Structure 1
């Protein structure tokens, strides 16, 4: 199982020590480093800025929100970064949720799967540069229909460094996971648990079995963001993770549409997820955090003494996950790499 480093998105400003941690990850032999975006910092700029100081490690976005850019604009970013990195770029995409898509980007959210399928198709056409790009879809038209009538199909002026750039899809529901297996090169799960492996394996198999599917289990990547904390006190380690879980389960989405909540409900924590969401949306964030049992943290994280983590890692190695994406500063990455490497 490979290791990756996930910087995430910024909070109030750039994370301290980011470049030191990235360079340490490369020195330790990590396979990849990833950036993210919410509704503040973007994913491409930090990846280019810090990635310029690296030479080997893959540079990925986890994730770029599709509603933030047209498919051709995203393809331009991908072409540019792939050239600048010497073919090390990985494009991770995600649909986000209606609160951000409609509230921040002012774009429609309905039919995210159909929009994703069209989006990925256009990106691949731009990168391949085999012909002027045209697309007549329900969500995207190139050239635009109903405009001035002066639009014309265009082909990128930039020749690609690679005819194909790997595209990974962030997905949590079974239909979206199946879509990632059908049209992409990898899947980016956020809250994965070995207990859910059979569920997701079935969803991936559904995608791989569709006509025209690009890959199968042998050459498909699954890069899962997994908190790993080496600490003698399991409860204390869990306490550092619980506030983030409360935010995602309770506050990252509307009560009726929160895909993170649904992940934990499928995992067997429906009552917990409902309670956390109710408390969080009522502004009782500390109570929401306290309502998360340590067992839920342990199901989706690797925490505790080194020996415990090594023992539990065996279950992860039997899953569809091919890369563990870690977080932390340079010292944390070193400690975790020594434990799980």
Structure 2
């Protein structure tokens, strides 16, 4: 049976942990709750709060940015969370952030994301397994052996290992997807829709083969996500997700092409280039639209209704529950349910009936806390 999770928003100007929804999903039989981060709330602090109020839910980051912390600090944080939550509940979901967040916000060079992920996972895994952090990489190293080094020996984290902590790597490009399969315990794609697994399976198999040891999809986690919006008017509910597609078209391109929408990806790239490229990204960070005026409306209109209907859950609650069934046997081992538009920066009301409808459709057994 597929695992279900919800997610805590990072982009709201006024941060709140949606405990009513989280406690409801735990009661409904959901399996996990995830956090995210960009340049708003961080991904680790909220999980400690959730850990204090829940018993059954796994606690995962989706994602923690590997540009923002050293592997040692990340390992300490995850192990601390393991101890706070009793062990065996933590999922270390990692991602590369973006060049804008990395250089503009975190003050680090963008460098080589693939090499950085390899170095980070190597050191993080050592720390999570109780071993000394001992790896000299291109992007992350420990101990420090550069100019002025005083020769410190490799060190370990001073916390007992309570349980294994799976490391799940977010990836969108072909090379990083294969790396996720090679070095990770799972993969978090930034986009998904039923029917596209055959496109990405060869990339995963390439990584499994490089890892050796018989590694395969068996026991390998794939956590996708789907956004929901309840509205009696299906077309109206599609609009904010069309805006999302336009805004994140560059990141979503491999998944557009996997779904047979290469022409859409090309058109959105053209419109984004015409709208200013990096200037457009800055507008998004400031809370505005990626494009302005006619270009924005033209880009939104270019996204077909069927693209949204097959990749999101929109409409009345019963329709959402019924259409969610296609997601339960499409190559994912876990499905993260997010509610509403992901572009705005204001806390929004959630229709909790949608979370219940998906739990029923998935056959989840309710819990008595």
The two structures have a TM-score, normalised by structure 2, of 0.82
Please show how residues 47-66 of structure 1 align to structure 2 within 5 Å: 47-66=47-66
| TM-aligned CA deviation for residue 100 of structure 1 | 1.8
Q: Does 1:93 align with 2:89?
A: no
Q: What per-residue deviation string (whole Å, max 9, x for no partner) do you get for residues 24-50 of structure 1?
A: 111111011000000121000112123
Alignment partner of 1:300 is 2:331: no
SS of 2:196's equivalent in the other structure is helix
Give the match for residue 180 of structure 1. 180
Of the three residues 262, 285, 289, the one matched with 2:300 is: 289
Q: Deviation digits for residues 127-155 of structure 1, max 9, x if unmatched?
A: 2123x322112222222122432251211
SS of the aligned residue for 1:324 comes to strand
CA contact (8 A) 1:72 1:122 kept: yes
The number of residue pairs the alignment matches comes to 330
**Contact 2:116/2:139 (8 A) holds in 1:** yes
Distance 1:261 1:133, change over 3 A: same
| CA contact 1:223–1:325 (8 Å) conserved in 2 | yes
Q: 1:263 to 1:96 in 2, by over 3 A?
A: farther
How far did residue 113 of structure 1 move?
1.2
**Please, which runs of 5 or more residues in structure 1 have no aligned partner?**
250-257
SS state of the match for residue 110, structure 1? coil
Structure 2's unaligned 5+ residue stretches are 276-290, 340-349, 364-369
Is it true that 1:338 corresponds to 2:360 in the alignment?
yes
Asked if 2 retains the 8 angstrom alpha-carbon contact of 1:279 and 1:288, the reply is: yes
Which moves more between the two structures, 51-60 or 101-110? 101-110
* Structure 1 residue 248: Cα displacement: 1.3
Q: Secondary structure at the match of 1:226?
A: strand
Deviation at 1:314, TM superposition (A): 5.1
**Residue equivalent to 1:255:** none
Kept in 2: contact 1:182–1:213 (CA 8 A): no
Contact 1:185–1:215 (Cα < 8 Å) also in 2: no
Give the CA RMSD over aligned residues: 2.3
Number of the residue aligned with 1:276: 268
Report matched runs for 1:74-223 at 5 Å. Answer: 74-87=74-87, 88-130=89-131, 132-152=132-152, 153-162=154-163, 164-212=164-212, 215-223=215-223
